Amino acid sequence: MQRGSLDPSRVAGTLAGVAIGDAMGMPSEFMTREEIRDVYGRIEGFCVPHEGHIHAGMAGGCITDDTEQTIAIIEALERHDRITPEVAAAAYLRWAQQCNAYESSVLGPSSRRALERLKAGEEPRVTGSSGNTVGAAMRVAPIGIVNSPNLESAAEECYMSCLPTHGVNIAIAGASAICCGVAAALVAESLDEVIDATVFGARHGERLGIEWAGTLVSARIELALRIVRESRDAVEAEDQLYTTCGVGMDPTELVPTAIGLFALHEGDPQRTVPAAANMGGDTDTLASMAGALSGAYRGIGAFPEEWVRTVEEVNNLNFEELTVILVAVRERRRVNNGWNRC
């Protein structure tokens, strides 16, 4: 694949997918599919969280830590051009301080443990030694963008971003699957190219970090894709993804289900993102990852204008400005490294 200029609409689509998925999945986070149906019917847009929900009091369309940490990565890339464990650790600590994450109930268990170790002055390459959740995968889309279409470099820089908080191989594999999927989707002409890249990323990540005994992310991605191929319709496929692959915070559950939904709905964000928001479990992260893949593949024009406008206005975001930052980082790398092809 040529390392030419990226389509800005696909870059913006990636970032919009992260934020729109996060915001649409926010009100249903940690609910079962049945609870979602009872409370919201079917989520097709931005809802206000119900009373007693973990996000009660937030406005419809609000983002959570998934998008906030993604933006922290973008800001770190703007400052340093490349992510190292030290750069990543500083970015995560800055984000946690700015949003008072330590007092929040939404900070994931792996990130919470790692941030406390970082605050205590431990080395960023080891502070994520117990991090085995999906918190790394939710924030790596910008790394896929600046490395596109080079999957090897995307996976390696993704690994660097994982170490401070998520140093276990299944967490790295999940993050690398999404990162490489985005890197491929930005230039892909077919769904298969994107799906193959996610499997490549997962297999690459499984060889890194602290080994976790049990299921491999790559094997679960292949299971999710088999469910999609063999199901009679979307309803059956989503039911099987929910019960067989899972929707919990484990990377061997959520990442394969996100990729399965992307494949099931042919990368169409108007179908993929609501499907993820209605799946139950860790819905904001699920919809954010599926949204990133869909947005990278289809571009920002594939999202309803109302979705884009609402998320930008509610959260004071500007996808065009964020796109310019990442395109500039990628161009500086291209000039400095002198590459034209991979």
The residue ranking higher by pLDDT, 103 or 302, is: 302
pLDDT of residue 338: 62
Per-residue exposure over 315-340, b if at least 16 CB sit within 10 Å of its own CB, e if not: bebebeebbebbbebbeebeeeeeee
Arithmetic mean of pLDDT, 56-77:
97
The residue ranking higher by pLDDT, 105 or 133, is: 133
pLDDT of residue 106: 67
Please, which pLDDT band fits residue 285 given cuts at 50, 70 and 90? very high
pLDDT above 50 for 328: yes
Residue 137 tokens read as: 């995968």
Domain boundaries, the chain: 8-334
Please, which pLDDT band fits residue 292 given cuts at 50, 70 and 90? very high
Residue 148 tokens read as: 């596109």
pLDDT above 70 for 339: no
pLDDT of residue 1: 41
Please, which residues have CB within 8 angstroms of residue 330's CB and are 6 or more apart in sequence? Answer: 6, 145, 146, 147, 148
> How high does pLDDT run on average in the chain?
95
pLDDT of residue 342: 37
How distant is the alpha carbon of residue 126 from its chain centre?
23
The CATH class for the domain spanning 8-334 reads: mainly alpha
pLDDT above 70 for 178: yes
Arithmetic mean of pLDDT, 124-129:
96
pLDDT above 50 for 341: no
How many Å from the N-terminal Cα to the C-terminal Cα in the chain?
A: 6
Dihedrals phi, psi of 233, to nearest 5 degrees: -160, 180
Report d(CA 336, CA 338) in Å as an integer: 6
Please give the share of the chain, as a percent, with pLDDT higher than 70.
Answer: 97
Report d(CA 145, CA 183) in Å as an integer: 6
Arithmetic mean of pLDDT, 118-147:
96
